Amino acid sequence: MPAMAAHSLADLSLAVRLGTSDSSLSSCRTLGGYGFRPLPLMVNRERRACSYSHGGVKVAAASEVAVKEKPKNNNKKGAKEGIKESLLTPRFYTTDFDEMETLFNTEINKNLDQSEFQALLAEFKTDYNQTHFVRNPEFKEAADKMQGPLRKIFVEFLERSCTAEFSGFLLYKELGRRLKKTNPVVAEIFSLMSRDEARHAGFLNKGLSDFNLALDLGFLTKARKYTFFKPKFIFYATYLSEKIGYWRYITIYRHLRENPEYQVYPIFKYFENWCQDENRHGDFFSALMKAQPQFLNDWKAKLWSRFFCLSVYVTMYLNDCQRTAFYEGIGLNTKEFDMHVIIETNRTTARIFPAVLDVENPEFKKKLDRMVDINRQIIAIGESQAPGFVKNLQRIPFIAALVSELIAAYLMPPVDSGSLDYADFEPQVVY
Ligand SMILES: [Fe+2]
Ligand SMILES: [Fe+2]
């Protein structure tokens, strides 16, 4: 999924638990898109990953996570700048690979319709973007022109996006490896998706080099915690992550095509084809869920679908509202942009999830805006000079208010949706 940060309520819960000043829901691309941090109610295991080398991304062992400042004059002793955890919050994910193998074992699951996977594999093999990610001198020139706060926020954007793409690469790579024996077709698609994500992460990391920085992906691989999600939750989260990423990229691309004066850095010109990768990734997860209808056809699936939608939308909205300088820097109104992305993602998601949120009800946006205000106050408390225990006490009423808004948003009458058969289903409000 798409570069840019990913988000979830879990970010919120973590920030609250830590009592951090940056209760900022940091960007956290999910498995390839908008990501999820550990949810308190889910099993959260810490795992370590192996090293990989793939596409433009070389991953090797390293001892600490950092953004390295690239040395001038090829001096290899570049300064290593620690990066704030909040900047790299995109989590890395792992899952129950044995359960995944069972789900896609054609011997056990004889009704598994392989024809759709075959068709998707053919599309992935075509590799439409094989020659798309080619840089030119415009990148460095644009980066050199960018100064002051915009430069800083751009670097943050590149770091977060790169980490997010890279988390998708790691998960898909491992799934491709683990499913090879039981379902070679599904396994190969995962491997080809990891190819795409490696390409995206590599391209973003090259972008950082324009700012004389480089993200230490080896460190990330070794040192970050891996969040465990059961396969069912991986499907919900990753599907949303890929689709919301698609809508973010295409919206930015179209906006900048109409308003070229805001084209401050050429990476956005690549978003049109790039987002098609994310769209295809999302379609693959859609096919995976259709192959496992038990994850879509009962009341629990409806509750979880709404939960994941809310997590992703709220986290993105709160996150982006803390980074309005970036969106304004490219001529966007942050809240309008986010609402457009949320509505379009929700419409797309309604084709597969059995229930979605009624995000087009004006009350939903009002709730989001109230959450932004509350979150701002929580952040202000964190940044104050008061002692820690005083800050914690001061936060309590705001956290309670935030939780109450979240519950109210979750309990809004949902849109009954989803169809395993009708892709053009139009959601209807159910009261
Ligand atoms: Fe991607
Ligand atoms: Fe993706």
Mean pLDDT of the chain: 81
Q: Is 387 helix (H, G, I), strand (E, B) or coil?
A: coil
Q: Ligand 1 centroid vs 200 CA: distance in angstroms?
A: 5
> Which class for 152: exposed (0-12), middle (13-18), buried (19 or more C-beta within 10 A)?
middle
Q: Give 260-266's long-range contacts (Cβ < 8 A, gap of 24+).
A: 261/331, 262/329, 262/330, 262/331, 263/330, 264/142, 264/145, 264/146, 264/150, 264/154, 264/329, 264/330, 265/139, 265/142, 265/143, 265/146, 265/154, 265/207, 266/136, 266/138, 266/139, 266/142
- For the ranges 44-48, 59-63, 145-149, the maximum mean pLDDT occurs at 145-149
247-276: average pLDDT: 96
CA 278 – ligand 2 centroid, Å:
4
Average of per-residue pLDDT across 43-49: 32
Does position 429 have pLDDT exceeding 80, yes or no?
A: no
Structure tokens that stand for 328 in this block: 């304004």
- 62 CA → ligand 2 middle, Å: 25
Considering the chain, what percentage of its residues have pLDDT values greater than 90?
Answer: 65
Helix crossing, 299-321 with 388-411: angle to 10°?
130
CA-based torsion, 41, 42, 45, 47: positive or negative: negative
Q: How far is the CA of 317 from the centre of ligand 1 (A)?
A: 20
Residue 77: predicted pLDDT: 39
Using CA atoms in the order 333, 336, 341, 343, what is the torsion angle rounded to 10 degrees?
Answer: 180
pLDDT band at residue 422 using 50, 70 and 90 as cut-offs? very low
Query: pTM (2 decimals)?
Result: 0.81
Ligand 1: centre distance to CA 274 (Å): 7
- The DSSP annotation for 73-116 comes to GG-S---EE---GGGG-PPEEEE-HHHHHHHT-TTT-TT--HHH
Q: What is the pLDDT of residue 5?
A: 37
What is residue 318's predicted lDDT score, i.e. its pLDDT? 94
Share of the chain above pLDDT 70, in %: 76
Say if residue 132's pLDDT is above 60. Answer: yes
Using the 8-state DSSP alphabet, how is residue 55 labeled? T
Separation of CA 171 and ligand 2 centre (Å): 11
Greater model confidence, 47 or 233:
233
CA distances from 150 to 106, 228, 324, 328 (A): 52, 35, 11, 10
Position 71 scores a pLDDT of 53
At residue 58, the pLDDT reads 37
What does the longest C-alpha to C-alpha distance in the chain come to?
Answer: 66
**Does residue 110 surpass a pLDDT of 90?**
no
Domain positions in the chain: 1-9+87-293, 361-414
pLDDT in tens, 190-212: 999 999 999 999 999 999 999 99
Q: How far is the CA of 75 from the centre of ligand 1 (A)?
A: 32
What is the predicted pLDDT for the residue at 1? 52
User: Three-state DSSP class for 428?
Assistant: strand
Question: pLDDT per residue over 338-385, tens digit each?
Answer: 999 999 999 999 999 999 999 999 999 999 999 999 999 999 999 999
> 22 near 382, Cβ under 8 Å?
yes
Give 52's pLDDT tier (boundaries 50, 70, 90).
very low
Distance from Cα 332 to the centre of ligand 2, integer Å = 23
SS3 content of the chain, % helix, strand, coil (to 5): 60, 5, 35
Confidence (pLDDT) at 11: 39
pLDDT tens-digit map of 262-288: 999 999 999 999 999 999 999 999 999
Give the per-residue pLDDT at 423: 43
Tens of pLDDT along 313-340? 999 999 999 999 999 999 999 999 999 9
Calculate the CA 111 to chain-centre distance.
32
Distance from Cα 271 to the centre of ligand 1, integer Å: 10
Residue 113 binned pLDDT confidence (cut-offs 50, 70, 90): confident
